[in-house]
Chain A
Amino acid sequence: MDFQPIFDASEIDDLLNGKRDGENGSLMGVLEEVQARYHYLPKDALILISESMGVPLSQTYGVATFYNAFSLKPKGRHVINVCTGTACMVRGARKVLERISDRLGIQPGETTEDGQFTLETVNCLGACALGPVVVADGAYSGEMTGARAEELLRQVMAEVETA
C-alpha cells in the first residue's frame, strides 16, 4: 500500500536518539510518535525500540496492546471514525454505525480487503452538540443519520475512484 509510509529502521533510530537523555518514562512517548508516523506499530519497530531502550519486548508489547491509541495492524487509506459516546448514542449513533458497517461490509476495528477503508469507533470526541458525529479522514460531520452517513461514504468513495 503506497499511501502507508514504509517502515524505515533509521527513522526509529533518529526518534530514539532524541529520547536517550535518561528522561523518565519515554516508552509511551516513542510509541506514540511511531504510531503517528505509520498509523500503526510495525513489529520490527517494537523490537528495535525494546532493544535500544533496554525494555523487555513483553513490556513493550503489553503497552502497545493495552492502550486504544496503539494499533498493531496497518490502517486503510481512509479512516471512518464513528463517535459512540453516550450523547451520540442517545441521538442515534448506533444506527449510523450499523449503516456504515453494513455498507463497507466490515466491523468496527476492521479494514476493507482492498485497504481503502478502516472503520473505527471512539468513546467521545466532546463535540456532543453535533451528535451523532462521524469523522472521515479527520473531517467532522455532525447530526448524522443513516441516510447522511451513506451520502458521506459515497463522497469519500468518489474520491477513491478519481484518485
Chain B
Amino acid sequence: MTTVRTPEELGLLRQRLVDGRDPDQPRVSVCCGTGCRVNGSIDVIEAFRRELDGQRLNGDIGLVGTGCHGFCEKGPVVVLKPSGVFYQRVGVDDVPEIVAETMVNGAVIDRLTYTDPATDKKIVYERDVPFYQKQKRLVLDLNGDIDPTNIEDYIVFNGYAALSKALLQMKPEEVIEEVVHSGLRGRGGAGFPAGVKWRLCREAKGDVKYIICNADEGDPGAYMDRSIMEGNPHRVLEGMIIGAWAIGAHQGYVYIRNEYPLAVENLRIAIEQAGEYGFLGRNILGSGFDFSIQIRPGSGAFVCGEETALMASIEDRIGEPRPRPPYPAVSGLWGKPTNINNVETWANVPLVICRGAEWYSGIGTDKSKGTKIFSVVGNINNTGLVEVPMGATLSEVIYDIGGGIPGGKRCKAVQLGGPSGGCVPSEHFDVPIDYESLQKLGAIMGSGGMVVCDEDTCMVEFARFFMDFVQQESCGKCVPCRLGTRAMLEVLTRITQGQGKEGDIAYLEELGEQIGQSSLCGLGQTAPNPVLSTIRYFRDEYEAHILDSRCPSHVCKPLIQYSIDAEKCTGCGRCLRKCPAEAISGAKKEPHVIDQEKCIKCETCLEVCKFDAVVVE
C-alpha cells in the first residue's frame, strides 16, 4: 500500500509508475463494460489469460480489462496496443489466433476487423473507425486504456493531478471561479452553471455541508453515467473531492442506481483505493482537508433523480420531492447546505482544473461549453456512447458517427432527454447540439439519451409509452402530476386503440400545458413534453389515428390487420401450423387466408413466412 501524503509524493509515485511501464509493450485491451459483458467479454478475457499463460507470454504481453469503449454495437471489442488494431465481435475461439497471428506475428486477421458499412472498406485501426474518428473524447478518453479497478492506471494518466493542484495551489474561491469561467453547465438535464451552484453552496451559512453525486441515471436508453463510473470511477471521485474542497464539505454521497451492479462495484473499489492512497480521508495530500464518500444505492424510483427526492431517499424516507426554495444549496440533506451534480458534471471537473478554464471554454459554443456524451440507441447502426463537442449537429451524431438507420429505412426523429424531453424530427437535424437550440425545438439536452426512431415508429404510441412511464413513476404527491398524467395517458391509450375523438389533441395540449405549469417538481413539469413535441411535429399521425382510424406506421394493433397476399403465398402451410389462434386456413399449395375474427395479431405468421406473403395494413 502506498499512501500519498504530499503533492511531491504523488509526483514521485507517478514517475515510478510511468518508469515501470514500457509504452511499447504489447497489450491487449478487452472491453468489459456492461454491453460487452453481455456479449461474452468476460469469457474472452479469461481465454486471453489462459492463452498467454499457456504460451508463456504473460510476461511479454499485457492484458487489461477496461470499462466501456463505447462501441457497444460491435462487442466484445478488443484493441491491441500500441498498434491500435481493432477487433470486433471477438469470441473465445478467436483468441488463440489473435495471440499467435497478430500479437506474435503481427498479421491482421481480416474477419475480425470492422467493415465500414458506408464504404464497405475494411478498417484495421481503432483510430480510423468513423465511429471514433469524429468524436472528441475528453471525459471518456481513458476508458479504453485503464483498468478501472486499479488506481495506479489512473495515476499514470495524470490522475489526481487536478486534485493536487486545487488543494495545494488554489484557494477554494479560486477553484469556484475557475469552474464558473470554464462555462461548465450541469450535465443532468437542466444545464445550470456548475460554478454558480457551487458558489451558492459555499456562501450558504452552516458548518456542515454535503455534496452529492447524482448517479441515479433513470432515463431509459441513457447509460453515459454508468459507463463513466464503470470505466473511470476515479475521475468522478477526483471531481467530487475538488468540489468538496471548493464548497467546504467533508462528506459526500454517491446516489447510484441499483440496476448498475458493475458501476456500484467499480465505484466501491475506487473509493477504497482512493482511501488507501490518501486521496480520501484525513488531511488529503497534506492540505489539512478531510473528506469521505459513501455510496447510497437507489432502489428503483425514477423520481429520485430529482434532487429533493434524491435527498429524501438518502435520508431513508419515501423519495418525494418538496417545493423549492429553499434550494439544496441553502437547505439540503438533513437541512444542511448541499451541492448536487450528476456523474458527467463531476467527471468534467478534473479537466477544467488541470487544463484550465480558458482551454475548456474554447470547446463548444457560445453558451454551451465542453463536450457532451450521448448514448445513441434505438434504430441506429452504431449503438454506443458518443462524446462530441457542444455545437456538433444531430446529423453528425446520427449519420457520421452513428452510421445511420439499419435496413435502409428512413429516420423519422430522435428523442432527446427521455421522459422529460421531446423529439426532434429529421428536418431539423442540422441544428447544433446546445442547451438553447434544443430547447427552441421543444426538446432538451437532457442527460444524454438519444433514441433514434425509424419510419416504423408510431409517434402516438411512442408518446403513450413515455406517458405510461411517467404516470407509473409519478410519486403521487402533487395533484397535477398524479391525476394529470393519468388523464393524458387515458386519452393517448384511447387514441392508440382507435377510439380517439375529435378534440382530443386540443385537450392533450391544454392538459399538458397545465401539468407543466402547476406540478411540484421536474418530473411533472416536464412529463407532457414527449406528447407536446410529437403533437407539434407529427400532428398528422395523431389525426390519422383519430379521424381515419389508421396507424400510418402499422403499430397500433386495433388499427391494423394481417392478411395474406394470394400472389406471394405458396400454400406451404407453415403459418397455418404455427398460428396459435388457428386463424389460418387453406389447402396445401393453395393461397391461405387469415380469419380476422380469430386473429389475435400476434404476428407469428409474419415471422414464419418465408415468402413475405403476410401483409400488414
Contacts and interface: CB of A to CB of B under 8 A. Distances in A.
Interface of A: 24-29, 31-32, 59, 62-63, 66-70, 84-87, 89-91, 95, 98-99, 102, 122-131, 133, 140, 142, 145-147
B226 interface: yes
B96 interface: no
Contacts of A85: 220-221
B275 interface: no
Given A127-B38, A128-B72, 19 more contacts: A68-B301, A70-B299, A86-B449, A86-B451, A86-B466, A87-B221, A91-B378, A99-B602, A123-B218, A123-B302, A125-B259, A126-B259, A126-B260, A128-B223, A128-B375, A133-B38, A142-B38, A147-B604, A147-B607
B301 A90 contact: no
A28 B299 contact: yes
Contact of B377 (A24, A131, A142): A131
A87 B449 CA distance: 10
Instruction: In the A-B complex, list the 3 residue pairs whose CB atoms are closest, starting with the nearest.
Output: A68-B300, A85-B220, A126-B223
Interface residues of B, number: 57
A126 B383 contact: no
A3 to B, nearest CB: 22
A25 B197 CA distance: 26
B125 interface: no
Given A59-B317, A91-B379, A67 B38 contact: no
Contact of A130 (B39, B223, B454): B39
10 contacts: A27-B316, A31-B299, A90-B457, A124-B219, A125-B259, A128-B221, A128-B378, A130-B35, A131-B377, A140-B38
A130 B313 CA distance: 32
B126 to A, nearest CB: 18
B384 interface: yes
B258 A69 contact: yes
Contacts of B466: 86
A86 B415 CA distance: 9
A87 B451 CA distance: 6
Contacts of A127: 34-35, 38, 72
Contacts of B218: 123
A131 B384 CA distance: 12
B258 A90 contact: no
Contacts of B258: 32, 69
Interface of B: 34-35, 38-39, 72-73, 75, 218-223, 226, 258-260, 296-302, 313-319, 334, 375, 377-379, 383-384, 415, 418, 449, 451-454, 457, 462, 465-466, 469, 475, 580, 602-604, 607-608
Contact of A32 (B226, B297, B607): B297
A90 B602 CA distance: 17
A62 B72 CA distance: 39
A103 B573 CA distance: 22
Contacts of B383: 87, 128-129
Nearest to A83: B220
A125 B33 CA distance: 12
A127 B73 CA distance: 10
Most buried by B among A70, A86, A122: A86
Contacts of B457: 90
A70 B334 CA distance: 24
B220 A67 contact: no
Contacts of A89: 220, 462, 465
B401 to A, nearest CB: 14
B602 A98 contact: yes
Contacts of B297: 29, 32
B458 to A, nearest CB: 10
Contacts of A122: 259
Contacts of B603: 95, 146
A26 B296 CA distance: 10
A26 B334 CA distance: 14
A63 B316 contact: yes
A22 B92 CA distance: 49
Most buried by B among A62, A66, A69, A125: A66
Contacts of B221: 85-87, 124, 128
Contact of A86 (B259, B314, B318, B377): B377
A85 B468 CA distance: 12
A87 B220 contact: yes
A108 B375 CA distance: 27
